[in-house]
Chains A and B, each alone.
Chain A
Amino acid sequence: MIRVRKDKKRVPYMFMSPALIMISIVFLYPIISVLIDSFFQISGQKRTYTGIQNFRVLLENDLFWKSLINNMKFFICVPILIILGIVFAVLLYNRIPGWKIYRVLLLVPYIFSIAVTGIIFDCILRENGLFNILLEKIGLGHLVQPWLGQTSTAVYAIMAVIVWKEMGFGTMLILARLLSVDESMVEAARLDGAGIFTITRKILLPEAKPVISFYFVLCMINMLSWLFNYVYVMTKGGPVNSTYVMDFYIYQLGVKFVNYGMASALAVVLLIITFLLVGVQAAMQHYVFPDEED
């Protein structure tokens, strides 16, 4: 009898084992490899154990700090994406005239690949590009400049492109949550004379909080480890290395400069920061929205 119970206990683990093995191969093995490599200087087939030297050098490296600060600058996109997402989701939820067209239009940029978006905006933001032509036409010719070609504006120009491309996703995410809100609550509020702002503030936003919190952390992680494509396509890290971000720097160190030890050390730093953010999200879920945990 005891033996049968023991076997029964093993069954779930047996079912889980293929998935666990796959996860170990796909996630754990690379993470452990990168972690090990970060303590070595790797030159061709030669590997020299250097302890924490790679991390020490990295922390003294100006471009590492510039990349990290740039990642932080990209966090500016997060509140913008969230606010725009909420505003557009609420407008679509309230079925403003033409809402079906707006819903499609908002999602279109998200469908474009980043490479296509980057190339298009690269042309638009040139000194003789469409954006500057428009500025001239509306009498703002004094603002004309090479948006991606100067250190003072390049990072912010990339941010604008990211917001343009990504806001559709946030809008749809929040809208999907709003559409599952109990209609009778909104209807009751309307009957009680509540306007769109009151309904949004008192019903829709509290209902969408968990999704917004999830979207917040997703955006934060994206701004840390998912900017490579934009930077690679639009600026290649320039001008004057001003748009370096951490994932782009990892690529440069590993692929271009064939310095795998250093690239691994930077990847470990990025991983730690990302885990911290996931921890923040879990804490938020636990302390800010305890009711939603179940």
Chain B
Amino acid sequence: MKKIISLLLVAAMSAGLLLGCQKKEEKAEQGQTELTIWWWGEEDVPGSKAWLEQTAEAYEKENPGIKIEMVQQTSDQLVPAWETSVQAGAGADIQFFWTGTYTLMYVWDEENRSLADLTELIPEEEMEHWLGTEGVSWGGQAWAAPWYQVSIIMLYNKELFKSAGLDPDTPPADWDELLAACGKLKESGVIPFENGGMKDGFNTPWMYSTMGIASHDSPKEFIEAAVNEGSFADESNKLWLERLYELNEKGYLNPLTMSNDFPSGRESFLRGESAMGLVTNGQALQWIEDMGGEDKVGIMRIPAYGDGAMAGKQNVQSQAFGIPEFSKNKEEAADFIVFMHQPEQLKSFYELTKNFPADDRFDSDTLSSESEKFLWDYLLNDSTVYPSLYVPSMVHSQGNYAAAQMVLSGSTAKEAAQYVEDIAEEWRKMSPDECEHFKDWAENYIE
């Protein structure tokens, strides 16, 4: 009797397992295709989840044969889950990507590409509207569809500017003006510039994207630095560390910067304790509202910290969606991506997130405030890339993070830059394949 019960139990469990596995296949048999999206973004752009849900619902209504399954992932899950799916050859039909190296590493080896060729799936006239494709392009074509654009911009507190005797309508535009303004602000008793807490190093990409670009003429120089021995210690790659060192040395940064973590540091601007601060474009609009409106807080252009062609430009990164090569529903996935870029969806994305979608069909006439118009104009006409996506993640994470912390702890810019170069040297040994791809990237980079 026991034997029979055991056998029945095992049979029931096996049947359950098989039924679970069959669910997706059954849907296919019923004529319904299930599109799975692995995505990230709510941490970056609050409201993106609501938009995705709304868009999926609208798409399902128009396409009753499609069911969209969304799987939200955390920052730590995103890359390992995708990597595992690449190894297993099964996973999402639409995959979220941070751009730059995080996307290109899956396409630059022609024989082992993990991403489908979008030019075979999406009409060219559709792709022409996409913005910020630099970070997802290889061999002259985009391998992922940009979703939204994020940039790090600067806010300044007009009232603190006035109290320090500065013109609240003319924020500093270059390095000399910034130093002069910081001097006056410090004398008035406020923190001139809140760069965000640096204990965890997370503010480094923001400093790199605003200061690090200043001595460069092209994103290509970042890619070249990774593969050219000694380059991270040269003058152009050292400049941002010199600027950071000087700001800290003169007491223009929050003295608690090495003790605070990233979010708690940034909030000193929100509390009105510091006169200038870094913030994402979407969050900027919220902070302006929270702090009393455009009369109290303004958005300024990134000061030109150096004299490179990229200096003073707005850094922009497009977060993107790609279609995995292993997906069995590539055409349906491509169709949904096209749907996400329709004017109505672009409009609702901005309404829900206050972030700009990565498409030039976004109707800027819907922008009402001066800040919104300024940001859109800055992004459209005077922007550049987010540079940390153009250096190997190991060099950035181990090298740049540490270098910024070094100069804020009293080391010289030269020592810190040499440290970055030492990490780059380690990277060249540890990741020879990636290094070769960077060489290709540098040689074939298209502006």
Contact = CB atoms under 8 A, between A and B. Distances in A.
A63 B105 contact: no
A206 to B, nearest CB: 46
Given A43-B105, A146-B199, A239-B405, A128 B430 contact: no
A43 B430 CA distance: 12
Contact of A41 (B86, B105, B433): B433
- Report the contact-size class of chain A (Cβ under 8 Å from the partner): 35 or more
B393 A257 contact: yes
A150 interface: yes
Contact of A44 (B80, B86, B402): B86
A62 B79 CA distance: 26
A151 B79 CA distance: 30
Contact of B402 (A46, A127, A241): A241
Nearest to B87: A45
Interface string B56-99: 00000000000000000000100110010011000000000000
Nearest to B433: A43
Interface string B236-263: 0000000000000000000110111100
A252 B397 contact: yes
Contact of A255 (B76, B256, B260): B76
Contact of B112 (A44, A57, A257): A44
A101 B420 CA distance: 52
A258 B259 contact: no
Interface string B182-208: 000000000000000011111000000
Contacts of B76: 255
B258 A149 contact: yes
A184 interface: no
* Chief secondary structure at chain B's binding surface: helix
Given A44-B106, A150-B409, A257-B397, A127 B112 contact: no
B271 interface: no
A240 B409 contact: yes
Nearest to A145: B259
Interface string A235-278: 11011110000000000101111111010000000000000000
A15 to B, nearest CB: 13
A65 to B, nearest CB: 12
B405 A238 contact: yes
A60 interface: yes
B434 interface: yes
A195 B431 CA distance: 64
Interface in B372-418: 392-394, 397-398, 401-402, 405-406, 409
Contact of B259 (A48, A62, A128): A128
A260 B433 CA distance: 13
A129 B258 CA distance: 13
Given A61-B426, A235-B200, A238-B200, A257 B259 contact: no
A63 B429 CA distance: 13
Contacts of B327: none
B259 A127 contact: yes
Contacts of B20: none
A148 interface: yes
B109 interface: yes
Contacts of A238: 199-201, 401-402, 405
Nearest to A260: B83
Nearest to B202: A236
B292 interface: no
A46 B258 contact: no
Interface in B117-168: none
B258 A146 contact: yes
Interface in B414-438: 419, 422, 426, 429-434
Contacts of B290: none
Contact of B405 (A60, A129, A240, A256): A240
Contacts of B429: 57, 60-61
B409 A46 contact: no
A158 to B, nearest CB: 13
B235 to A, nearest CB: 23
Given A43-B105, A258-B393, 4 more contacts: A129-B259, A235-B199, A236-B201, A240-B405
26 contacts: A41-B432, A43-B112, A44-B86, A44-B106, A45-B86, A45-B112, A45-B114, A57-B430, A61-B426, A126-B260, A127-B255, A127-B256, A128-B256, A146-B258, A149-B258, A149-B259, A150-B258, A235-B200, A238-B200, A238-B405, A239-B405, A240-B409, A257-B392, A257-B394, A257-B397, A262-B431
